[in-house]
A and B are shown apart, each in its own frame.
Chain A
Amino acid sequence: NAGVTQTPKFQVLKTGQSMTLQCAQDMNHNSMYWYRQDPGMGLRLIYYSASEGTTDKGEVPNGYNVSRLNKREFSLRLESAAPSQTSVYFCASSEPPLISGAGYEQYFGPGTRLTVT
């Protein structure tokens, strides 16, 4: 049981390049999330997927796209990277309270450190 896995762990891009961050979870959770973490700003939600087949914008969606490929996988794409997207990106998953009727701990992956030069 690996939990939430993310690839790659580190990435350096030049301005204008594109890339996709991959995330997968093996806990059969319905909801998945992408956050970015910047110093002094905590975890900010980029996009989330409440369930397979749906995606919604979070707090800071500009410059990003997502795909919920299936129940396990949720990818984040940067079409044209900018230095402002230098950050640590975390994927998370949870079983939402609307389904579980209980708590909804979010389980986080180890993160991807992205630098855009």
Chain B
Amino acid sequence: GENVEQHPSTLSVQEGDSAVIKCTYSDSASNYFPWYKQELGKGSQLIIDIRSNVGEKKDQRIAVTLNKTAKHFSLHITETQPEDSAVYFCAAGATDSWGKLQFGAGTQVVVTP
């Protein structure tokens, strides 16, 4: 089955700096890679996703890159703000499926003013 590894487990950044979280996956059949943000005491919410037919996707201060050959994908947050503090999860799945996702272990991001 799919195995997703996520690094780092914790990330502390100064407000205004960039944050990068990296994930690797093992199953070549995976072609859908979402990122979820979990704020304290809440369920996770999708913030951005990418499919294997593109290498990069941006949405304002958030971007995701995908390297299919190396089987890794990354989340980039620029100009970080205190409200970016949360746990971020990467995941991998297949679009020809019933929607199961394999999640990474999560990255606790702390943005200090």
User: Are B104's CB and A108's CB within 8 A?
Assistant: no
User: Are A42's CB and B106's CB within 8 A?
Assistant: yes
Contacts of B6 in A (CB 8 A): 42
A90, CB-defined interface residue at 8 Å = yes
Known contacts: A42-B103, A103-B32. The answer to whether A98 contacts B96 by CB under 8 A is yes
B77-109 CB contacts (< 8 Å) to partner A: 89, 93-106
User: Are B97's CB and A40's CB within 8 A?
Assistant: no
Interface of B is mostly: loop
User: Are B43's CB and A108's CB within 8 A?
Assistant: yes
Which residues does B use to contact A, with CB under 8 Å? 1, 6, 9, 32, 34, 36, 41-46, 49, 89, 93-106
Which residues does A use to contact B, with CB under 8 Å? 4, 31, 33, 35, 40-45, 48, 50-51, 58-59, 90, 92, 94-98, 103-111
16 additional A-B pairs beyond A43-B106, A90-B43, A106-B101, beta carbons within 8 Å, are A31-B99, A42-B6, A42-B104, A42-B105, A42-B106, A43-B44, A43-B89, A43-B103, A58-B100, A97-B95, A98-B98, A103-B32, A103-B95, A108-B43, A109-B43, A110-B41
